Chains A and B, each alone.
Chain A
Amino acid sequence: MMSMRVGIPRALLYYRYFPLWNTFFRELGAQVVVSRPSTRKVLEEGFKFADDDVCIPIKMIFGHVLNIEDKVDYLFIPRLLSDNKTGYCCPMMAGLPEMIKYSMPHLPPILDPFVDERYRGTRLSGALSKVGRKLKYNFLQTRRAYSKAREQFDQFQRRMRDGVSVLDLINAFETNGCFTDEPLTEKEEDGSMKIGVIGHPYNLYDTLFNFDLFKRLKEANASIYTPERIHGHTIDHHLRRLKKDIYWTLGREILGAAFHLLESRIVDGLIYLTCFSCGIDSMIEPLVGFRAKREASPYMALMIDEHTGIGGFVTRLEAFLDTARRRKFNSDDERRTS
């Protein structure tokens, strides 16, 4: 008997949860099919089915679903209302299974576990158990698979916090099927420029949306700081003074990371990669902008939409890096003379 094939689109929360989902299904004995990396063509396929009001990462997932729909028995599109005790995800992610189900014809059945970490009955572990039950596995099997998956996921998060690039981690995970202990990135050199790159993981790590941003930064000899590298309680510490409950988990992470990077003067410049018509970014980005202005730190918000061309992107990036570099050398000189 051929093993069951579960399809995971390479979009949205894939960049956060893939090691967990993948290990879970593999431990159950299912075959995981991941869609191909994003390209312009995938996005254009997505346009055909997606509503015109939604943001571009959601349009992208439509393209990815189309990419794997005929190769799998089940599609895995979790419904995340909240992935944290206090926070919400983007509401579009909570309605995503319906949006896809009602917009595209001839889809395989969708596995849509409902995750709301605020209540006991709907935690991630329970939601995945239900998925296991639906696929006719018994409780013990799903439990064991989940604990294995959790192990991999914890390791993934630890490595991210150590500063290993998320893309490298996921690529290595996809080829090996698990995390190995070998170091994935080279040590940072001192004296090089430090650039903070913030944004939603599905914008930052999507190969189409980021226009090789990380590669370009590395070529410019900059070391990169992403929100994943910053510890949860550092973020809490910086947001406490705001006296405002930032209720989006990802938004909170981005804002806290930005405040930390700016206030502690860790980075020489900050780049915010946002996408057009993103509701969360539209509220978080101004707050980051005001803080960067107050700290007098080089800051650039890059907004991507359907028409963004690589030319404009690269020009702005180069100009920004020049500014950051000049600022850094000037302040280094000042320090030396004083």
Chain B
Amino acid sequence: MKITVPHCGQMDIFINALCRKIGPDFVIPPKTSLRTLDLGIKYSPESTCLPFKFILGNFIEALEKGADTICMISDHGPCRVGMYDIVMQNILREMGYRFNWITMDDTRILRSYLLKFDRERRKRKVSLVEAIRALLFSWKKMNVCEEMERWTHKMRPYEVDRGETTRVSLECLRLIDGVTDLKELKIAREDALSSLANIEQDRTRQPLKMVITGEGYMVINPHANQDIERRLGEMGVEVTRTMWFTSQIAHAMRLDLLKKRSKSKAIRASKRYLPHNIGGECNASIGYAILYAREAYDGLIQLLPFGCMLESVAKNILRIVSKDYDMPILTFSLAENLSETTITTRLSAFVDLIQRKRKIREK
């Protein structure tokens, strides 16, 4: 069994750490590139959303690399991600690939995948304790990676040399990816944090604070959102992201009840504008806008793939939230043909607008 998963945030680091310790061989799909997207566009139905095209491209490239089992998360919600598995299977089989498909959703957890993985574990003669330890280690590793990313968001607006933070953080990520046990992880984390802190900074700047929210895949993945966090950071904006791979898992497992800015709190906050939870990230997007507006953030950016059913409801409602809380909101509806120039032009116009707003307020 050679499994593969689509690229989604730091998930490949998590699965890689897990598989290196206990599991089946893991084929990392090649880094999502223009070729990935082109393959995805070529074989997808034209009106599917952008994440579908990226993920299908990932799978095609992974199958080319020799994977024979595909793991894919699924859902039973109103969002179309729950139908991805059946449509993608049909497309890939039509293309002539042979593979096993494991759908991971919240029903039939035992029968559809946990037992399968367990059989694989026993075949490899890995004890259960070892497996659980490996799982926890991989989880910690991913948490460290995300912590690093949070730090880069904080540092980037202060850096003196543009692009330095990005370079350092990439090095650190590579360092962390190579780690094999908890002790090393601890050392690697400290090393990474200190090398981030050593970046030359200009602390006199007063960066704007912005929050990025919207559809999960688009927010988490730099390849899907055209690296919007880096771009904003280099324009001198401190970015906060509402969604992380770990936070999504934590929410699904109800582990985030005590957190300050949890998804469930956001959903509760959205009740004033959308009285019922209609599924997906729709309510959370609205709720986060309210939560962060209360914390006096300067602006919000909503990302959605073109044609997303849930986020376009949120987009309509965010217009009013923006007016009520006096918080500028910029919406990016991303399709496969969006160019870099459009993004930078719109972003810099948005940043200019907010800076002017701040100056007026300071007077």
Contacts and interface: CB of A to CB of B under 8 A. Distances in A.
A279 B49 contact: yes
Contacts of A54: 312
B86 A242 contact: yes
Interface string A284-302: 1111001000000000000
Contact of B319 (A95, A102, A303): A102
B310 A91 contact: yes
Contacts of A98: 273-274, 313, 316-317
A94 interface: yes
A160 to B, nearest CB: 25
A333 B350 CA distance: 68
A102 B82 CA distance: 29
B278 interface: yes
Contacts of B49: 279, 282
B31 interface: no
Interface stretch (B73-81, B128-136, B174-182, B236-244): B73-81
A279 B309 contact: yes
Contacts of B86: 242, 244, 287
B338 interface: no
B315 interface: yes
A114 B275 contact: yes
Given A91-B280, A94-B78, A283 B83 contact: yes
A287 B276 contact: no
Interface stretch (A21-29, A219-227, A245-253, A307-315): A245-253
A169 interface: no
Given A94-B78, A94-B278, A95-B317, A283 B309 contact: no
B90 interface: yes
B333 A53 contact: yes
Interface string B48-69: 1100000000000000000000
Nearest to B89: A244
B78 A95 contact: no
Contacts of B315: 51, 53
Interface of B: 45, 47-49, 76-80, 82-87, 90-91, 94, 273-276, 278-280, 282, 304, 306-310, 312-317, 319-320, 333
Interface residues of A, number: 41
Nearest to A114: B276
A278 B45 CA distance: 12
19 contacts: A53-B306, A79-B276, A81-B78, A88-B279, A91-B78, A94-B276, A94-B313, A95-B282, A95-B310, A95-B317, A103-B319, A244-B85, A247-B76, A248-B78, A277-B47, A279-B307, A283-B45, A283-B80, A287-B86
Nearest to B310: A91
A99 interface: yes
Nearest to B273: A98
A101 to B, nearest CB: 9
A51 B312 contact: yes
A173 interface: no
Interface in A69-90: 79, 81, 88-90
A103 B309 contact: no
Contacts of B319: 102-103
Contact of B320 (A92, A95, A102, A114): A102
From B47, B76, B306, residue with most partner A Cβ within 10 Å: B47
A281 interface: yes
B78 A90 contact: yes
Contacts of A202: none
A99 B312 CA distance: 9
A91 B48 contact: no
Given A54-B312, A88-B78, A290 B90 contact: yes
Contacts of A94: 78, 276, 278-279, 313
A282 B45 contact: yes
A248 to B, nearest CB: 7
Contacts of B273: 98
Contacts of B80: 279-280, 282-283
B82 A247 contact: yes
Nearest to A277: B307
A276 interface: yes
Nearest to A87: B78
Contacts of A92: 309, 312-313
A117 to B, nearest CB: 14
B339 to A, nearest CB: 18
A98 B313 CA distance: 8
A106 B259 CA distance: 41
B48 A282 contact: yes
Interface string A84-128: 000011111011001100110000000000101000000000000
B64 to A, nearest CB: 22
Given A98-B313, A283-B84, A286-B45, 16 more contacts: A53-B306, A89-B78, A91-B79, A91-B309, A92-B313, A94-B78, A98-B274, A98-B317, A116-B276, A244-B83, A245-B76, A247-B77, A248-B78, A276-B47, A278-B47, A279-B309
